[in-house]
Every structure is written in C-alpha cells, then in structure tokens.
Amino acid sequence: WRQRIYAFLLRRILGPYLAPSSSRKLHRCVEVSLTEGRFVLTDVDLDPARLNTLLFSAAGDDEDGGESPLSVGVRVRRAVVRKLGIHLSLREGDEVQDDGDGTLRRSDSDPSESLTVGMAMDTMSKAYRLSYTRASEVNASSNRGGVALLAHIEIEGLEIDLAPVEAMKGGREQQPNRSRHSRDTEAENSSSRGGYISSYVDAALASLRLTLSISDVSIRALDQGGSSFAALRLSKVSYRDEPASARNTTLDQQLPTE
C-alpha cells in the first residue's frame, strides 16, 4: 500500500510529463526507501505530446500546442530517462534555508539531521497541516510556520530525439491518444479529489520547492529518414527554486571541458 501511495504522489507530480505506458506502471516499477524519502524510476518514457506543447509555448505558437507549424521547425519525437531519482522531504517553513548551491537544508538549530521523510503516515500528517496554513494566507508571516515540501530530482541519462515537423507523420492522429490520456488522468484526479490522501498531496504540492540535476544529456537531431545527423551532449544541467521570498528560478548549464 505504501508504494501505491507514493505512486499516487509521483503521478500527481510527474503524470502530465510521462508517456501513458510509464504512467500506468508507476506503482510496479518505483523503488521506495522510506527512511531516506527516496524514489527511483528506471527507463521512464516522457510524453512527446506534452513536451511539444511546452516547446510550442516557448516558441510563441498556439497556446494549446496544436497543429500550427513550429517556428523552429522541429518536434520532440522521443524522450527517455534512463534513471530518475526523487528525494522528498517535508520541513517546517522556518527550518528551511538555501545554502546557495541549490541544496535545501535545515536551519543551524539541527545541522546534523539530514533531509529524510520518515514514516509515511507521519509525512502525510505534516503535509495536512499545510492545508490549514493555506487557509490563513492573508497573513504573510504565517507562511513561516507552514510545512514545505522539498523535492530534489536527479536524472541520469536523458535522451531526446528531435525530428523535422514534416517527418512527424500522423501528428494529427497522435493527438486523440494524448486527449484520451489527458481524460484518463483527469478522471483519476477527479475520482481521488476530496479524498483523505488527495488532500494531503494537494496541500504539500502547494508549497513545493524544487532542485533539479540532470547529467549525461544527449539531444539528437534526426533527418527526414529518421537517421541521426547531429547531436549535442551536455554533461550537466541544474535548476533550483529560489527561496520563497523571491520565487525566481535559475538555470545553470555546464558543458564538458576538454
């Protein structure tokens, strides 16, 4: 039952970005360490339709990421993550600080304690407390007493294939599959909305602070025949949320050095 709870949590966070096949098998393939608050997924397929929607939005095309030609002329054809590790923890708002390198730590009052989740029900109980904090958001200072969900995501081996728009045959035919997946996800969310666990999850996600580290990134550009003719490799890409007072984000890219 614990793995189903965590799979539910992961599906709420990652669901929109996962291919239907990966989303359906979450509860079977996730490896959970309760003492460390760590989850590991391997060989995860990302949803090209979702990534293309984000790409369209970034390029200033149709809001819905529909069928208008992409200004840069390419679409995501395939995206695979070889290993995805997620480290989750819940901390009181005044116990969380950013040490400047993207690592979220407790305050100096207890520097030796690592960021661990603890037992599942204790974690859920703390998250539920946040729902009451949200109800009193009119008082900004009350946020310091809330519970923050800290998420550190490590991705090892990200492979992305890009193809010309003209080479993405059947693009219109793929859209209904995405729509069915969206409806299935919405139906699942609707069926769980108002539930006990769902209340915990919604409350925790409202306070999410994220750090992301991606290593061994490979981006291939394919020709009309599907053969690779160009490739870009990045050794590391990192992302982190700024402290709540700023709520800005930064992106650092580190290219391999010769």
pLDDT tens digits, 237-251? 888 876 544 444 333
Yes or no: say if 125 and 117 are a contact pair by the CB < 8 Å rule: no
Yes or no: say if 18 and 79 are a contact pair by the CB < 8 Å rule: no
Instruction: Please check the confidence at residue 114 and state whether its pLDDT lies above 50.
Output: no
Q: In 72-117, which ranges are continuous DSSP H helix? A: none
Instruction: Please check the confidence at residue 33 and state whether its pLDDT lies above 80.
Output: no
Q: In the chain, which ranges are continuous DSSP H helix? A: 2-14, 20-24, 26-29, 48-59, 120-135, 171-192, 196-205
Q: For residues 168-178, give the mean pLDDT.
A: 46
In this predicted structure, what is the pLDDT of residue 21? 83
Helices 2-14, 120-135: crossing angle, 10 deg rounding: 40
Higher pLDDT: 219 or 204? It is: 219
Which positions ≥6 away from 190 have C-beta within 8 Å? none
In this predicted structure, what is the pLDDT of residue 158? 92
Q: Which of 11-20, 44-53, 174-183 has the highest mean pLDDT?
A: 44-53
Distance in angstroms between the alpha carbons of the first and the last residue of the chain = 49
Q: Name the average pLDDT for the chain.
A: 65
Pick the range with the lowest mean pLDDT from 5-9, 149-153, 175-179. 175-179
Calculate what percentage of the chain has a pLDDT beyond 90: 9
In this predicted structure, what is the pLDDT of residue 197? 63
Q: For residues 146-163, give the mean pLDDT.
A: 85
Which positions ≥6 away from 16 have C-beta within 8 Å? 47, 50, 185
Q: For residues 75-91, give the mean pLDDT.
A: 85
Largest CA distance in the chain: 60
Return d(Cα 205, Cα 194) in angstroms, integer.
15
Place of tokens 């009181």: 92
In this predicted structure, what is the pLDDT of residue 254? 41
Place of tokens 């009052």: 109
**3-class SS of residue 8:** helix
Yes or no: say if 136 and 142 are a contact pair by the CB < 8 Å rule: yes
Question: What are the φ and ψ backbone dihedral angles of 190, each rounded to 5 degrees?
Answer: -65, -40
Question: What are the φ and ψ backbone dihedral angles of 9, each rounded to 5 degrees?
Answer: -65, -45
Which helix H or strand E contains 77, and what residues bound it? strand 74-92
Return d(Cα 114, Cα 89) in angstroms, integer.
10
